[in-house]
Amino acid sequence: MRAGIIVIGKGILEGKVSDSNSPYIAKRISEIGIAPGRVAILPDEKEVIEEEVKSQLAIFPIVFTAGGLGATPDDLTREALSAIFKKTLLLDEMTLKKVERFYKEKGLPVPESATKQALYLQGALLLENPVGISPGMIIRDGERTLIALPGVPEELQKIFETGVLPFLLTTLPTKPLFAVWIRTTGITEAEIMERLAHPKRKFKSCTLEYFPSLAGVDIRITTDKDEGLLSEWKEEIITRLSPYVYALGNIPLEEKVGELLRKRELKLVVAESCTGGLLGHRITNSPGSSDYFLGGVIAYANEIKKSALGVKEETLKRYGAVSREVALEMAKGVRERFGAGIGLGVTGIAGPTGGSAQKPVGLVYIGLATINRTICKEFHFSGNRRMIKEQAAQSALDLLRRYLEGYD
């Protein structure tokens, strides 16, 4: 079975807002055996929405729309669907009460336009929105199904998990698809393909896909035939790609690091220069990170490196702020000052200026210090300033992960 996906929003169409909804929907439906057949991004125009929905419903038995269910005049998905299916828009009392409660809690009168969020298509199955106001809708018309979802990513994802997914699994004739996600970092897609080329012949009934990003390469293995073979292939990949594999499923690297720190009852502190707090931000993205993360210092200027971390003036003069020696003194200094088990130090040149022939833009040193051991790695990243900072933060987390797992 194939499905169409329609994303509605002028901001997305013009590139001002990133589209995270269609990748999410495509990924989730793929996991249950529904293949994405087309993705369209549309402006907030009723006639255009009507035309694309009709076109996709003529091709696919199921179509998803994301966006256009809010309260503003340019939220026109309901009106477009009403015209397509020739159904009246009705007022849902439960959603209306939610709207009224929302404004009452803010001490504001309910704008007349806000009640638009409580409108739904006659005959549609409403999908409760646990984190917002506008509900989703499932509209069945013979053998065709349209699922309309709000455009706010957090709302769309919550409705999908609590309402759409159970509907798809129990109602539509989907073929089970067994899938495993393997997360890697510190290795390129080309290197992975080379390492897996020979054993891949053994697992012909499994599909292997690669999803590279700045953080690493995610690998998805799927099959609709033999779940046992999938498990065997997974173990083969983990063995061949060790130590680059850090997790299965959707676990981010910072969460994996947190698990390892918690298991070993270790406390972490960080000293950041070129990452400017991004490393600490990543670590604190994980709930409960206060169990193992004490905090950090953003030591951007040399004066702060000296006064807050104890980096020696002599070291800075002799080797420069971007050096192996300074990264290690940053890691040792922050660990000793805060009494943690592990300290990380990151220093580098994020660019676009500041590089030289000896120390080019993208050069980063990451130091790790414990009570009785130090490690420092040199990295050469490419890309713009943001990309270099992201790669540096990821590599710092991975250096820590490898140490905790006994690879370094």
CATH code, domain carrying 76: 3.40.980.10
Where is the domain boundary, 248, 270, 297?
248
Domain match, 17 and 163 both: yes
Q: Which residues of the chain have pLDDT under 50?
A: none
Mark out the alpha helices in 112-242 (DSSP H runs). 153-159, 165-171, 189-200, 227-241
Residue 51 is which amino acid? E
> What does pTM read for this prediction?
0.79
> Residues 305, 316: contact at Cβ < 8 Å?
yes
Closest CA to 147 of 13, 298, 306, 25: 25
User: Do both 28 and 86 map to the same domain?
Assistant: yes
Per-residue CA distances from 16 to 11, 216, 271, 405 (Å): 5, 26, 34, 41
Separation between Cα atoms, residue 237 and residue 221, nearest integer Å: 10
| CATH code of the domain containing 291 | 3.90.950.20
Quickly tell me which residue has 């309910």 as its tokens.
Answer: 110
Residue that finishes a domain, picked among 215, 248, 281: 248
Domain identity same for 261 and 221? no
Residues of the domain holding 104: 2-171
Residues 354 and 294 in one domain: yes
Q: Where a domain ends, among 103, 137, 171? A: 171
157 and 193: one domain?
no
Beta bridge partners of 146: 63, 139
For residues 142 and 239, state if they share a domain: no
Residues 21 and 156 in one domain: yes
Based on the fold, state whether residues 356 and 234 are members of the same structural domain: no
What pLDDT score does 32 carry? 85
For residue 125, what are the contacts with CB-CB under 8 A and spacing of at least 6? 137, 138, 139, 140, 167
Q: In this structure, what CATH number is given to the domain that contains residue 244?
A: 3.30.70.2860
Nearest to 221 by CA among 202, 36, 3: 202
One domain for residues 43 and 150:
yes
Please check whether residues 167 and 182 belong to one and the same domain.
no
Q: Structurally, how many domains does the chain consist of?
A: 3
Contact 151, 66 (CB under 8 A): yes
pLDDT at res. 201: 64
Q: Are residues 132 and 217 in the same domain?
A: no
Residues 89 and 63 in one domain: yes
Q: b/e for 291-324, b at 16 or more Cβ within 10 A?
A: ebbbebbbbbebeebbebbebeeebbeebebbbe
The residues pairing with 66 across neighbouring beta strands, listed in sequence order, are: 7, 149
Eight-state DSSP code of residue 111:
P
